Amino acid sequence: MRIAIGADHGGYTLKKWVIKILEKSGCAVKDFGTYSSKRCDYPRVGFKVASGVASRKFERGVLICKTGLGMAMVANKVPGIRAALLSDRASARSSRKHNDANIAVFSGNRITRKKAEEILKIWLKTDFSGGRHKRRVDQIGNMEKKLRRGR
């Protein structure tokens, strides 16, 4: 699976760990930064990752900032993105089954490495259920189209 990943300074340390897990799981990972713990602005990185996933160059994305909140907000501005802030196994599972989430967002300082690994592994292997959930996800896509047309 092709994965785009990005973080700000608040997610930099966890990002390094997540890249290792993804690569061990056989994913091809493209790192969009940030590349040090020097303070930086999360919207710039979040937008790059979300745009890469929306363009289908990458099948999924992972974003990390201190709380996960800012990255989730940025990513969900990009049409076609369904970014989910994940903090437990149940949210990982349902974000895939029900919402077909294509970006997983983590808080860099509110979950342990072990927890992030557990959540990520579930998130990677869980398929979208389709059916009534597809109807709902399609409704989100239709709203994006309406907004693009200006109504």
* Residue 92 in contact with ligand RB5, rule: CB under 6 A: no
* Residue 6 in contact with ligand RB5, rule: CB under 6 A: no
In angstroms, what CA-CA distances link 141 with 49, 54, 61, 148?
Answer: 19, 12, 18, 11
SS3 content of the chain, % helix, strand, coil (to 5): 50, 15, 35
Q: Which residues contact 37 (CB under 8 A, 6 or more apart)?
A: 9, 12, 13
* Residue 110 in contact with ligand RB5, rule: CB under 6 A: no
* Residue 100 in contact with ligand RB5, rule: CB under 6 A: no
Question: With helix as H, strand as E and coil as C, how does 49-70 read?
Answer: HHHHHHCCCCCEEEEEECCCHH
Cα separation, 144 vs 78, whole angstroms: 9
Site for ligand RB5 (CB under 6 A): which residue of 6, 10, 46, 52? 10
Identify the H or E element spanning 76: none
Least distance CB 18 / ligand RB5 (angstroms): 15
Least distance CB 43 / ligand RB5 (angstroms): 9
98 is catalytic: yes
Pick 45 or 101: Cβ nearer ligand RB5: 45
Applying the rule CB under 6 A, the residues between 39 and 58 that interact with ligand RB5 are 42
Pick 48 or 96: Cβ nearer ligand RB5: 48
The footprint of ligand RB5 (CB under 6 A) covers 8, 10, 42, 65-67, 69-70
Residues with active-site annotation: 65, 98
